[in-house]
Amino acid sequence: MFVRPAQLVQTPAQLVQAVGQWHLQSQRVARRNALAAAAVLAERRRELEEVEHFLASLGRAAPGTEPGPAAVRGAGPPRLDRGA
């Protein structure tokens, strides 16, 4: 948030008031950011479900839902044998 020079705190009482209100403003901004992020994620989820539904109607699986080489070998990174 940009603070203009005219908005700078000028007296100790104003400083105390600004510090006392900081947590409320911070919470409002964090809540607004979380709401915006949730909206973006919901839209992505909706688009993914739409693509999965479309591919299912074509008789295909969505990319990443078919077992690949990692699923056949087992999930996770390859193990290194250390002199065993």
How would you class 14 by CB atoms within 10 Å of its CB: exposed for 0-12, middle for 13-18, buried for 19 or more? exposed
Q: What does each of the 84 residues of the chain score in pLDDT, given as a tens digit?
A: 566 666 665 788 888 888 888 899 999 999 999 999 999 999 999 999 999 999 999 887 656 666 544 444 454 555 555 554
Please list, residue by residue across 42-62, b when 16 or more beta carbons sit within 10 angstroms of its beta carbon and e when fewer do. eeeeeeeeeeeeeeeeeeeee
Whole-structure pTM value: 0.49
69 within some domain = no
Q: Is residue 78 part of a domain?
A: no
Q: Give how many domains the chain has, as a whole number.
A: 1
Boundaries of domain holding 41: 17-61
Question: Phi and psi dihedrals of 83, rounded to 5?
Answer: 70, 20
